[in-house]
Amino acid sequence: MRWLRKLGRSREPGVVLLEGPRVVAEAVACGIHLDLLATHEGVEPSDAAADRVVVLSERAFASASQTVTPQGVLAVARREEVSVGDARRAARAGGWPLVVLDGVQDPGNVGAICRSAAAAGAPALVVLGGADPYGPKAVRASAGTVFRLAAARGDWGELGDLHGYGTAPAGGLPLHEADLAGAGLIALGAEAHGLRNRHLPAVTIPMAPGVESLNVAAAAAVLLFEIRRRLAA
């Protein structure tokens, strides 16, 4: 149990804390190996295979849980992170731009973007600073779909030769005019400050008058499904 609490505070390399039956089931469906599966008393046992299965008291489980209303299932999984090079190759092989998150701080946003990316069919994503895509909150927000992506962490120096677009709330190329499907990357910036890379041409999602901007996760969903539509055309 101490290990579960520790992983909730600070993730170990190659180890991911999963919470909730849906997240655990999605991870297993993606071929993720479970070191430990924990439930609390009175919860129906999960059929997910793990090296070790434990049943905790409700109080002990609550102390290890990362949520206000625990769902009764926790797991520790092994996931070796891919390199930026691996993510680039996966995006290229899938015929997709590489999705880049430049300093996105909120793990809920990072997880939601991972979920939209997986749903749209994007193969890969690179996080440059900001929230860890394999942190507990980001994994929960992704509903476990982060395991469907080649998700890497890196820096702009590893992406400098890729051409593409960054997003801007105003003043960029209108969405319908940008060659999104043919881009090498699509980058979204931090919630408060936007992109740190000022050298990318900007693309802007048209909005109703008076609306300042979209949440970064909402903007990502619009862009990702527009790319999916164009690739399918």
47-69: buried (b, 16+ CB within 10 Å) or exposed (e) per residue? ebebeeeeebeeebbeebbbeee
Is the pLDDT confidence value at 200 over 90? yes
pLDDT of residue 211: 87
129, 66: one domain: no
The average pLDDT across 15-40 equals 91
Two tokens, residue 56? 């905790």
Confidence of residue 94 (pLDDT cuts 50, 70, 90): very high
Two tokens, residue 140? 């929960």
| 186 and 100 Cβ atoms separated by less than 8 Å | yes
210, 109: one domain: yes
The average pLDDT across 164-184 equals 94
135, 205: one domain: yes
Of 45, 78, 111, which residue sits at a domain end?
78
pLDDT of residue 55: 86
How far apart, in whole angstroms, are the C-alpha atoms of residue 133 and residue 152? 8
Confidence of residue 11 (pLDDT cuts 50, 70, 90): confident
103, 203: one domain: yes
Of the two residues 2 and 233, the one the predictor is more confident about is: 233
Q: Give the domain range for residue 120.
A: 84-232
143, 173: one domain: yes
Q: Of 4-13, 107-116, 190-199, where does the model show the most confidence?
A: 107-116
The average pLDDT across 172-185 equals 95
pLDDT of residue 44: 67
pLDDT tens digits for 71-80?
788 899 988 8
Of the two residues 193 and 35, the one the predictor is more confident about is: 35
| 155 and 67 Cβ atoms separated by less than 8 Å | no
Whole-structure pTM over 0.85, yes or no? yes
pLDDT tens digits for 222-231?
999 999 999 9
